[in-house]
């Protein structure tokens, strides 16, 4: 049986590993147009700051790939011919498949303002983007960052680390308002300002102004003009669904799949950022842009492609990230509504985080060591842990396993509750 995988990211690699683990001698062809193949997308933030080298971005060696025994072809698919179970490639050749996986990922939502095509307007989609940013970032020069979520902060901190003066534009009144609460936003903003970032609230880009084809300044909707040498944006991502849509597959915000990662064509699967996955718990189809979720989806897709019926059970979404140098874990449903600075979701983000939970908030810590818990009737629904990560693992386990917290609910919600002590004590007793 021939398995063809479009995409060389974590979902495609995980699917390859799954197929190889159960189907001896399987023919697997991976198609990709990223010249750098498989590397750690989350690692690009640390590559920008200089904390990771090029080599450290690659989690697998050539020997690892040889053991998997798949064929990698640098090619772009232009059309899926479902009736012929074949793909048309950019050189007009045809490639047949028995099972096909669309692990096509997502791309940065483009800026729709005049001047967006000037040299010096950058995004952070892939390694080439990161290298372009490093070439353009010069000590003492000025950068403007537009957008929200994790990627906008990665850009801000990367440019800051390279010695640039950074202005960060926020359309609303605070940072990442639909995932963080006001206190959490203010903690991040204060740290950014302490590092030298100039924050501009209620500020929206009107136009990017160039000189000799290069960025020279930006004009805001309030009439203000900021001189700059570089403009970096991260206003959201869009799943790559064009191939699926043109092939007549069901597409909503992403490529719709069932719990077996299967599209409405039984021979075609989708996983990762491009997939909109059915969640049996909520009965809804959700977009995630999380490395761990993409790996789990790819694993399930590969197993099913190889004939091993394996439902993808969507785990509680969580991400351990760094916001303004502060380790932050986000677990489950913690936010609400839409964000002024994002169109859809960003990388390292989940639609589940934005669901309006029927819960009461318990929180403690009003400096960099902060914890916020969403407490339901009998279980925890979500949590944000900033700074000290002692509670991160216990909370992740308790939320994922739906642990009954009735014995400590009142203690968590008590005025001036010592939340950390209550949770650590409860968790210790649970494990014993």
Q: pLDDT digit string (tens) for 48-77? A: 999 999 999 998 887 888 888 899 999 999
Task: Say if residue 175's pLDDT is above 80.
Answer: yes
Q: Please give the structure tokens belonging to residue 109.
A: 């939502």
On whether the 2-107+237-305 domain is CATH 2.40.10.10, my answer is no
Handedness of CA 296, 299, 302, 304 (dihedral sign): negative
What H or E segment, with its residue span, contains residue 327?
Answer: strand 326-332
Kindly report whether the global pTM for this prediction surpasses the value 0.85: yes
Q: What pLDDT does 356 receive?
A: 58
Q: How far apart are CA 17 and CA 70, in angstroms?
A: 10
Class of the 110-234 domain? alpha beta
Q: How far apart are CA 416 and CA 233, in angstroms?
A: 40
Interval 200-204 mean pLDDT: 96
CATH number of the domain at 318-431, please? 3.30.390.30
Helix axes 291-305, 10-22, angle to 10 degrees: 30
Task: Say if residue 338's pLDDT is above 90.
Answer: no
The owner of tokens 């995980």 is 14
Q: What pLDDT does 362 receive?
A: 80
Interval 282-291 mean pLDDT: 88
- CATH 3.30.390.30 location in the chain: 318-431
Interval 197-220 mean pLDDT: 97
Burial class of residue 124 (count of CB atoms within 10 Å of its CB; 0-12, 13-18, 19+): buried
- CATH 3.50.50.60 location in the chain: 2-107+237-305, 110-234
pLDDT tens for each residue of 113-128: 999 999 999 999 999 9
* Residues 84 and 98: beta-carbon distance below 8 Å: no
pLDDT tens for each residue of 142-164: 999 999 999 999 999 999 999 99
Handedness of CA 36, 39, 41, 46 (dihedral sign): negative
Window from 188-202, 230-244, 282-296, 338-352 with minimum mean pLDDT: 338-352
Q: What pLDDT does 357 receive?
A: 60
Q: How far apart are CA 236 and CA 246, in angstroms?
A: 23
Q: What pLDDT does 360 receive?
A: 79
> Helical H runs in 211-285?
242-246
Window from 189-193, 213-217, 372-376 with minimum mean pLDDT: 372-376
Task: Say if residue 206's pLDDT is above 70.
Answer: yes
Task: Say if residue 80's pLDDT is above 70.
Answer: yes
For residue 354, what pLDDT band results from cuts at 50, 70 and 90?
A: confident
Q: What pLDDT does 371 receive?
A: 94
């Amino acid at each position: 049986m021939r398995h063809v995988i479009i995409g060389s990211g974590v979902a495609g690699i995980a699917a390859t590993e799954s197929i190889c683990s159960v189907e001896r001698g399987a023919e697997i062809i991976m198609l990709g147009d990223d010249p750098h193949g498989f590397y750690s997308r989350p690692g690009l933030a640390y590559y920008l700051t200089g904390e990771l080298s090029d080599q450290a971005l690659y989690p697998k060696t050539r020997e690892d790939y040889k053991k998997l025994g798949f064929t990698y072809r640098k090619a772009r698919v232009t059309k899926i011919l479902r009736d012929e179970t074949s793909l048309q490639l950019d050189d007009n050749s045809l490639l047949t498949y028995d099972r096909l996986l669309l692990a096509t990922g997502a791309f940065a939502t483009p800026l729709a303002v005049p001047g967006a095509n000037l040299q010096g307007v950058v995004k952070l989609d892939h390694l080439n983007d990161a290298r372009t940013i490093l070439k353009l970032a010069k000590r003492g020069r000025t950068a403007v960052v537009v957008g929200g979520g994790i990627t906008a902060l990665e850009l801000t901190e990367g440019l800051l680390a390279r010695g640039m003066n950074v202005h960060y534009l926020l359309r609303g009144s605070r940072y990442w308002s639909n995932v963080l609460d006001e206190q959490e936003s203010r903690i991040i903003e204060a740290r950014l300002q302490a590092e030298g970032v100039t924050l501009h609230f209620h500020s929206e880009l009107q136009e990017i102004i160039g000189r000799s084809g290069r960025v020279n300044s930006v004009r805001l909707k309030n009439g203000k003009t900021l001189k700059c040498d570089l403009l970096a944006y991260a206003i959201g991502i869009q799943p790559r669904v064009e191939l699926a849509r043109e092939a007549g597959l069901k597409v909503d915000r992403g490529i719709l799949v069932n719990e077996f990662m299967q599209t409405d064509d039984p021979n075609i699967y989708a996983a990762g950022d491009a997939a909109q996955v059915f969640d049996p718990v909520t009965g809804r189809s959700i977009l995630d842009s999380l490395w761990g979720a993409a790996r789990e989806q790819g694993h399930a897709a590969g197993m099913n492609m190889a004939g091993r019926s394996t439902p993808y059970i969507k785990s509680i979404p969580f991400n351990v990230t760094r916001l303004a140098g502060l380790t932050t874990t986000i677990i489950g449903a913690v936010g609400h509504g839409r964000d002024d600075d994002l169109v859809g979701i960003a990388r390292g983000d989940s639609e589940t985080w934005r669901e309006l939970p029927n819960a009461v908030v318990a929180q403690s810590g009003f400096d960099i060591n902060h914890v916020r818990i969403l407490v339901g009737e009998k279980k925890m629904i979500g949590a944000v842990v900033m700074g000290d990560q002692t509670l991160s693992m216990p909370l992740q386990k308790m939320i994922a396993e739906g642990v009954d917290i009735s014995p400590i609910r009142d203690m968590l919600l008590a005025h001036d509750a010592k939340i950390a002590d209550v949770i650590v004590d409860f968790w210790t007793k649970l494990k014993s």
